[in-house]
């Protein structure tokens, strides 16, 4: 009795290991030439087998038809992915622009198909490319890094000078005996079976260590980003390629300690002329003067309500009211005595008049009004606020302004007057003269009696928009 217990205990402590039996995966037939393989493929196709394949060292024309391979559905996958990408793109842009964050820009529609075409094209191509790439891998059951058929020594010649036909044992019609006899009837060189592997599937120890180390290294950037996002530091970021991130730049209209005059905006260098802007060759056109006076500084005088700022902090200095009035009166006297031109220094045409009207409405009408009465929208708003800092623009139809020569009006646009800033840097000389021409037309329109006009002139005025 005790002996039987000992035997049983020994059997329990050391059970017999279950050996994995190899499984038949299919049959492999070898042929000498592509013609024999083609004929065998037609017979296998006609016999009704579905899971089988051919292996050749080079493409064999007609093998697809002999095997009965159907046309691939990959183009439909690519088309579906492309349409999906286009639908996502147009839906995303409609939601962003017309629903979630509508933003009106110059009267343009919130949603427009032509504006969406670039993004639709890019996303359609992107998803179509993904569909082609991953669809091809899926339809071909790739990646497949190993196949037991590779253990066949004869199969190595599939890339050289032999042609093979493989029958998969998972085919519903496959039978070890019947299929074997059928394959032998195809007159191959020889037929062999290929079996599943019975070796241990364990990975090598060195490979495990390498994969573990690679996984740890891949987690380090994610952990570093998470750490940086959850902590606060006083140290600046590390810029491996700084480019122009730390360039020294200054903001306009501010003070600085870098320059002696305290200004960040630098004045023009005395005695220098920008290339292509030499103006003395056409003084009437560029200055509105017949000749330049000996005291050439007077051409840049603008009677504005500004005084010299403090030399140390000019941006914070306040103008002196008494001195400003005297300076303005002196500037007006100098300007009145200059030899202004009374005729336009360029040909007057209908195109110039239309250009002047367009530029006037852009730059001048906001303050002076469409009719030049000094009742623009900005002026009306400023007068309603009554903050005491707004000087209403003078009407163009007063005797003082109407009697000014065209050169003086050109100078006013160029250099400004009182609260009006200088528009010389913004408006080219040609457009300034066009504005003066339209301004003179506005003045003349208030001085003409309608009864003195002919019927053709009245009709032209009515038709003019």
Say what the pLDDT of residue 327 is. 59
Enumerate the domain spans of the chain: 24-195, 350-463
Residues 452, 374 contacting (CB under 8 angstroms): no
Q: Does domain 350-463 have CATH number 3.30.470.10?
A: no
CA distance linking residue 451 with residue 440, whole number of Å: 21
Say what the pLDDT of residue 317 is. 45
Say what the pLDDT of residue 235 is. 79
Q: What is the DSSP letter of 404?
A: S
CA distance linking residue 352 with residue 371, whole number of Å: 18
pLDDT digits over 142-172, tens only? 988 888 898 899 999 999 999 999 999 999 9
Residues 6+ apart with CB under 8 A from 280: 292
Say what the pLDDT of residue 12 is. 47
Quick one: which of 332, 352, 337, 331 has its CA closest to 290? Answer: 337
Say what the pLDDT of residue 218 is. 95
pLDDT digits over 34-92, tens only? 999 999 999 999 999 999 999 999 999 999 999 999 899 999 999 999 999 999 999 99
Residues 162, 32 contacting (CB under 8 angstroms): yes
Backbone angles phi, psi at 30, to 5 degrees: -110, 140
Residue found under tokens 């360029």: 346
* 400, two tokens: 């003082």
CA distance linking residue 283 with residue 290, whole number of Å: 7
pLDDT along the chain (465 residues), means of 10: 46 52 92 95 95 95 93 95 97 94 87 93 97 95 86 92 95 92 94 83 84 94 91 81 74 84 83 73 84 68 40 45 58 77 90 93 90 87 83 84 89 86 89 93 81 78 66
Sheet containing strand 190-195, edge to edge, reads 52-55, 163-168, 24-31, 190-195
Cα 106 to Cα 29, 109, 110, 362, 378, distances in angstroms? 75, 9, 11, 15, 20
CA distance linking residue 444 with residue 453, whole number of Å: 13
Say what the pLDDT of residue 308 is. 38
Say what the pLDDT of residue 174 is. 94
Residues 431, 359 contacting (CB under 8 angstroms): yes
Using a 10 angstrom Cβ sphere, with 0-12 exposed, 13-18 middle and 19 or more buried, the burial of residue 188 is: buried
Say what the pLDDT of residue 402 is. 85
Cα 102 to Cα 98, 107, 113, 117, distances in angstroms? 5, 12, 16, 19
Backbone angles phi, psi at 191, to 5 degrees: -125, 135
Using a 10 angstrom Cβ sphere, with 0-12 exposed, 13-18 middle and 19 or more buried, the burial of residue 17 is: exposed
Quick one: which of 188, 140, 179 has its CA closest to 48? Answer: 179
Say what the pLDDT of residue 89 is. 96
Using a 10 angstrom Cβ sphere, with 0-12 exposed, 13-18 middle and 19 or more buried, the burial of residue 227 is: exposed
If DSSP codes are grouped into helix, strand and coil, which group holds residue 285?
helix
Q: What is the 3-state secondary structure (H, E, C) of 95-155?
A: HHHHHHCCCCCCCCCCCCHHHHHHHHHHHHHHHHHHHHHHHHHHHCCCCCCCCHHHHCCHH
Cα 275 to Cα 227, 279, 283, distances in angstroms? 55, 11, 17
Say what the pLDDT of residue 457 is. 75
CA distance linking residue 416 with residue 424, whole number of Å: 9
Residues 6+ apart with CB under 8 A from 404: 340, 412
Say what the pLDDT of residue 84 is. 97
CA distance linking residue 120 with residue 88, whole number of Å: 8
- Alpha-carbon torsion 440, 442, 443, 447, what sign? positive
Estimate the crossing angle of helix 429-445 against helix 350-363, to 10 degrees: 90
């Amino acid at each position: 009795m005790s002996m039987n217990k000992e035997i049983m205990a020994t059997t329990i402590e050391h059970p017999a290991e279950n050996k994995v039996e190899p499984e038949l995966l299919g049959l492999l037939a070898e042929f000498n030439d592509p013609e024999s393989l083609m004929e065998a493929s037609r017979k296998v196709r006609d016999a009704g087998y579905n899971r089988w394949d051919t292996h050749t060292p080079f493409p064999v024309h007609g093998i697809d038809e002999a095997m009965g391979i159907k046309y691939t559905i990959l183009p439909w996958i690519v088309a579906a992915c492309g349409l999906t990408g286009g639908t996502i793109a147009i839906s995303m842009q409609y939601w962003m622009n017309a629903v979630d964050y509508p933003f009106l820009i110059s009267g343009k529609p919130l949603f427009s198909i032509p504006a969406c075409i670039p993004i639709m094209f890019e996303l359609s191509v992107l998803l179509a490319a993904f569909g082609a790439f991953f669809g091809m891998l899926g339809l071909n059951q790739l990646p497949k890094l190993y196949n037991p058929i590779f253990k066949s020594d004869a199969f190595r010649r599939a890339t050289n000078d032999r042609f093979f036909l493989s029958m998969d044992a998972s085919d519903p019609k496959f039978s070890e005996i019947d299929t074997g006899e059928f394959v032998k009837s195809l007159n191959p060189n020889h037929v062999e079976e290929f079996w599943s592997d019975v070796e241990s599937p364990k990975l090598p120890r060195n490979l495990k260590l390498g994969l573990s180390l690679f996984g740890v290294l891949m987690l380090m950037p994610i952990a570093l980003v998470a750490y940086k996002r959850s902590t606060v530091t006083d140290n600046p970021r590390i810029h491996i390629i700084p480019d122009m991130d730390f360039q020294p730049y200054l903001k306009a209209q501010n003070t600085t300690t870098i320059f002696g005059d305290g200004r960040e905006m630098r004045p023009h260098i005395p005695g220098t002329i920008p290339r292509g802007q030499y103006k003395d060759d056409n003084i009437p056109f560029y200055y509105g003067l017949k000749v330049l006076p000996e005291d050439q500084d007077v051409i840049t005088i603008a009677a504005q309500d500004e005084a010299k700022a403090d030399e140390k902090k000019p941006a914070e200095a306040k103008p002196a009211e008494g001195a400003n009035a005297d300076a303005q009166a002196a500037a007006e006297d100098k300007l009145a005595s200059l030899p202004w031109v009374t005729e336009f220094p360029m040909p007057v045409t209908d195109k110039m008049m239309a250009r002047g009207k367009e530029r006037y409405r852009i730059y001048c009408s906001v303050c002076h009004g469409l009719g030049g009465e000094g009742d623009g929208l900005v002026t009306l708003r400023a007068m309603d606020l009554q903050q005491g800092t707004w000087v209403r623009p003078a009407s163009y139809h007063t005797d003082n302004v109407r009697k000014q020569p065209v050169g003086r009006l050109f100078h006013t646009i160029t250099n400004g007057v009182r609260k009006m800033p200088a528009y010389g840097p913004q408006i080219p000389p040609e457009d300034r003269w066009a504005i003066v021409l339209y301004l003179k037309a506005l003045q003349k329109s208030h001085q003409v009696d309608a009864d003195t006009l002919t019927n053709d002139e009245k009709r032209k005025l009515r038709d003019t928009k």
